Amino acid sequence: MKPAVILQALVLTCAISYATEETQATHFSLAQEVITLLSETELTLSSCIDAESVSAALPKLRQLGEQAQAIADKQRALPDSSLNEDLTIAPLVNDFQLLWGAIRAHIERLENGGLMSEELKNVLRVAPTTN
């Protein structure tokens, strides 16, 4: 496996989780939760077409941000992943990249359309751009 793929799989595991209290979180379960979270984020951003829809999406985006933080907290509590776990997660990397690319495209669209309010930047944790 290429080092870049392993690195991407590790990054993916750092972003993930939603496992219930009854189920012990694993690197794989957290990776699946990240994919779900990114999918919901992409869907929510796709609904942002004007100032009104951006405002309407903010509560959902805040909730998704809280879920992302919970996933990251769970991931930090896990021991380092094994090579076998990394190999199990690797097939999810393509989904991660596709969703992340779609989210970045939405952010660019919102910025170019003048719809990226300060509040939305804060919720999405978009870094200020330097011109």
| Token reading at 74 | 């769970």
Q: Does residue 131 sit within a domain?
A: no
User: For residue 9, is pLDDT > 80?
Assistant: no
DSSP state of 65: H
User: What is the pTM for the complete model shown?
Assistant: 0.77
11 occurs within a structural domain: yes
Residue 13 lies in a domain: yes
Judge whether 92 lies within some domain: yes
Give a yes or no: residue 129 inside a domain.
no
Return the pLDDT at 12: 52
According to DSSP, residue 127 is labeled P
20 — pLDDT class (breaks 50, 70, 90) = very low
**Between these two residues, 100 and 7, which has the higher pLDDT value?**
100
Residue length of the chain: 131
Domain assignment present for 110? yes
- The verdict on residue 130 lying in a domain is no
3-32: b (≥16 Cβ within 10 Å) or e: eeebebbbebbbbbbbbeeeeebbbbbbbb
**What domain count does the chain have?**
1
Q: Which domain holds residue 67?
A: 3-19+26-124
CA 69 – CA 73 distance, rounded (Å): 6
Q: Quick check: 92 pLDDT over 60?
A: yes
